[in-house]
A and B are shown apart, each in its own frame.
Chain A
């Protein structure tokens, strides 16, 4: 328990070493806070006079002017703090965002991408709370001691009575802090859960309707909403308990003053309006105490809210270090040597496979679903690291010790369904390019991908806004834009994973021809389920349950691969003309 607590604090504090905090802003705000404390005490003394009926002009004027001064100081402090905390928020946000962008795929999938959204957007804002509260706390502590001192000067006996309540004040602090941490953690947790539920289900609207599930979805959504409701109620009860605790303490103070003070007055140990004066300063003391408490609450609450942020920040990033990629090597083949890999430890997808993909040729991967074809393409690009064995992209570039970003730049990767981003068509086609491109280039890529025609038929052509994830385009249209996007990259190695499956036959043929022409002299690795795309490949690798059954060209495989023969026979069945 103790250890865990120490860990929470440690990870919480290390967060603040990871970005620069604009201390000077906070120091200025502290200075204005201390000034405010002084001004406030003066105001309190004038207020006491007013309450005694000492309504002289000088008192009224001083009271008004001091109040205005106090407001101006408060304004200054607010603005300084706002700058400081907004700066912290944006810095922490950028830190988390960079982290998320560089997380390995395995980690992203494990953590459920949608839950990362609220980490960046909501939780991070709590990072500035701690610093702000800390600074405010200084001025509160200062004001607290100043007010206590004045109290003591005014009437030592009564102040000593109050000292008896000190243990209670400390107890209130400890308990409230604990509750606050729990409360925030629970509330943010519920919010997070609710957000990711709606994120997933709102984007699956079509599916929900097709399955006739609206009514059940309503129930499930209400279930998520109710969880949040329960967390809210929990927070309401905890919050009230905290206020009650604090109120009990201040009321007890009042009781002590009323009972103790009245007996002092009766014994003529204090002037008759003494309770008024004493209470005036006492209220200041309690006000500062309440401030300190709420600042402490803020810090503990922030700890709860930042729990997730810290967890994300402590994850290991993908390492983009190592040797530079060497493009000018004698042999640019891709080589797998005894590569084994599994997404989960107990489930091997590839079992010690070795093969060579010759440069400048077309290689096809065939095999049943789950035989590891797609995994091979992902391993090549370093999305996952092999459990054992080595991968070379060109003779001298071992994937394990070469910069991943440079390796990925060698590849163009097209899947069956490729995500697009909200924005215009042009923006999507030039996505990821680190150089300026001419309209001419964009158009040519679009033509090769058989997309130009439909693009110009749109009212705004290349500048058409395609909506979130491109949802204003049809599946085939999205696919053609995705292919154009890859062609713009001018990759050394083009990986096509069922890229033509959602295209119509004519379009697929046209694109495939254009792509082969364009990639002349470069390498294409293709996964397809139509034999005609496969049979013309220079090399075919047949996979079976994570191992290699055979490698060769169409004629070779007809001789030696059972699986391949099976495929050809299935296609020939039913008397298709050859």
Chain B
């Protein structure tokens, strides 16, 4: 239907987006610079260590000239090496943290439509795992290239101090490794990305199912779900095995390449050593330096693989970062929002489906308006548009003769209390949930009176920890009716001028519903209430009624007018005529 091309698809411009993303995220430049400086120092110390070692190996055991400096440099390399390790880890951790905050800030501020085109559960791995790939990319590729280039340079210089021809012979064999790295990186990338993708699929499927355990039980579908999970796990298994084949096969290739270089190094060195231009000590040092350079170059192979395999994650994150935020603070402050809600010729498409078709209505201020009509007629969408969850194509919604789009989103949403169809509670205490989104200090009395109005106070008192009782994830320990009443209490606490309710009392029993409606009328006196409902008991509460069908207004008017003229409304009141 509205499936956006998956975020895994490769596309152009990744480098540009990556740079844009790096600019946005706070990279700990100072720390990284520290790290580079420390590793440069470490490289130099390493050279000295090799030099003294070679003297020792060649049999020079003078205590003050060789042994003491040797021990000193060993100690120094231990200390500096540890510092460099800790700074490098610190850099990665900081990059992870900063990227995670950046992505989370972005995700929270993206418009609703984003959540519908992207599977929400898949977004989790953007924050948890994809980020670590990026920090690896920065620290183990970009920064590592700088440090290793430096170390190759310094080492070559040192060899050059023995003999320039030795140095030149080494430079000739350098590009060999880089070629191999390029080749292997290409194969490895495709497969490791597949492993990540399969992992994400498994996570999503498991997440969806663990949250719906009761459904699975009620259909006694445990065995089939077990098989479903098994299929996903098998796919991951196959991908992982393929991945380890590739990486295992590449290691002998690296060794072969290394050996060829070894042969060149030894043959060149042997020539110099044989004609006496290198002493034994210098030969040992030269061999040590050359091995070090080969090791550094071999790690370049790793850079390429890491670079290629981080493309997927980089791509996915940078795509998110490119999306436009909802501008929360742009526009006029909507303090004291008042007046009729007037909807004028709104055209709204949900994907390709036309939901509101030149819809116009006026919802009177200070009154209670019911929106009724068959499902799929666009009632919830209308509330969502008033709440400014989605942008629309054509038309205008005004409150008090002013386009609602001109208000700043934050202040606008603060002036409206919206109780959605499915009550959403977050894990935490009851009090946390009641105060969620209330931007002022609330006294205990106020809290209790809101709960009394929503007929939930007695229930809360019956709980072991009263208002501080923890409710499970998504409020799983509460019944549907209890959740709805908590949501309503929260809406009362918000003290907004407008209250939107989407079947907010549907799960309540008849007596409670009646009492709740008395509370709503009292709490929202002189204020505007708009609600969607189906049952006659609730619909009867409205002063004004809008009947919708297929994205248009079928009929509207006062309670009495509708009772007299609308056959649809009469049918609802008529106890459903099921005789």
Contact = CB atoms under 8 A, between A and B. Distances in A.
A209 B61 contact: no
A477 B220 contact: no
B573 A576 contact: yes
B144 interface: no
Chain A CB count within 10 A is highest, among B78, B81, B127, for B127
Given A75-B251, A259-B67, A477-B376, A206 B237 contact: no
B426 to A, nearest CB: 6
Contacts of B520: none
Given A225-B97, A509-B576, A201 B273 contact: no
A58 to B, nearest CB: 13
Contacts of B1: 458-460, 464-467, 472
B543 interface: no
B263 A113 contact: no
A120 B74 CA distance: 45
27 contacts: A51-B287, A86-B237, A102-B222, A108-B213, A113-B211, A114-B211, A202-B121, A202-B123, A205-B120, A207-B420, A209-B413, A210-B420, A232-B93, A232-B96, A244-B78, A251-B78, A276-B58, A366-B509, A381-B217, A408-B220, A416-B507, A417-B480, A418-B215, A471-B120, A498-B480, A505-B571, A567-B511
Interface stretch (A76-84, A133-141, A170-178): A76-84
A540 to B, nearest CB: 13
Interface stretch (B84-92, B184-192, B302-310, B394-402): B84-92
Interface in A217-231: 217-218, 221-222, 225-226, 228-229
A490 to B, nearest CB: 12
Nearest to A534: B510
Given A79-B245, A121-B202, A536-B578, 10 more contacts: A105-B214, A114-B211, A195-B128, A202-B124, A211-B413, A217-B108, A228-B97, A233-B90, A506-B374, A529-B537
Interface stretch (A15-23, A301-309, A342-350, A354-362): A342-350
B121 A203 contact: yes
Interface in A47-87: 50-53, 55, 60, 63-64, 67-68, 70-72, 74-75, 78-79, 82-83, 86-87
Interface stretch (A93-101, A150-158, A160-168): A93-101
A287 interface: no
Chain B CB count within 10 A is highest, among A196, A203, A434, for A203
B208 interface: yes
B161 interface: no
A273 B479 CA distance: 82
Contact of A203 (B67, B93, B108, B120): B120
B506 interface: yes
A50 B266 contact: yes
Given A236-B93, A370-B481, A574-B540, A202 B59 contact: no
A89 B115 CA distance: 32
B306 to A, nearest CB: 19
A50 B287 contact: yes
Interface in B79-113: 81-82, 85-86, 89-90, 92-94, 96-97, 100-101, 104-105, 107-109, 112
Contacts of B424: 204, 206-207
B120 A120 contact: no
B369 to A, nearest CB: 17
Q: Interface extent on B, as a size class?
A: 35 or more
Contacts of B482: 369-370
B443 interface: no
Contacts of A331: none
Contacts of B414: 212
Contact of A232 (B92, B220, B537): B92
Contacts of A206: 112, 115, 389, 420, 424
A466 B513 CA distance: 33
Nearest to A498: B507
Contacts of B376: 454, 474, 476-477
A213 B417 CA distance: 12
A209 B112 contact: yes
A502 interface: yes
- Enumerate the 6 nearest inter-chain pairs by beta-carbon distance, A residue then B residue, closest first: A476-B375, A211-B437, A432-B219, A236-B89, A272-B59, A82-B244
Contacts of A208: 108
B508 A503 contact: no
Given A416-B506, A476-B375, A67 B259 contact: yes
B107 A116 contact: no
A465 B3 contact: yes
B150 interface: no
Nearest to A466: B1
A405 B220 contact: yes
A467 B2 CA distance: 9
A113 B535 contact: no
A447 to B, nearest CB: 16
Given A206-B420, A432-B221, A570-B510, A468 B121 contact: yes
A233 B212 CA distance: 36
Contact of A229 (B93, B229, B230, B510): B93
A346 B464 contact: yes
Nearest to B2: A472
Nearest to B463: A347
A567 B510 CA distance: 6
B444 interface: no
Nearest to B573: A576
Nearest to B325: A214
A191 B266 contact: no
B578 A101 contact: no
B251 A74 contact: yes
Interface string B229-255: 110011011001100110111011011
Contacts of A114: 207, 210-211, 473
A421 B299 CA distance: 45
Contact of B576 (A79, A226, A532): A532
Contact of B229 (A97, A108, A417): A97
Interface string B1-28: 1110000000000000000000000000
A226 B104 CA distance: 12
A557 to B, nearest CB: 14
Contact of B507 (A83, A501, A530): A501
B365 interface: no
A368 B421 contact: no
A468 B436 contact: no
A368 B481 CA distance: 10
B360 interface: no
Contact of A94 (B70, B222, B233, B437): B233
Interface in B47-89: 53, 56-59, 61, 63, 67, 70-71, 74-75, 78, 81-82, 85-86, 89
B422 interface: yes
A90 interface: yes
Contacts of A199: 121, 124, 207
B340 interface: no
A369 B512 contact: yes
A578 interface: yes
Contacts of B90: 233, 236
B283 interface: yes
Contacts of A261: 61
Contact of A276 (B57, B420, B474, B512): B57
Contacts of B215: 418-419
Given A202-B107, A211-B437, A411-B218, A530 B535 contact: yes
Contacts of A109: 472, 476-477
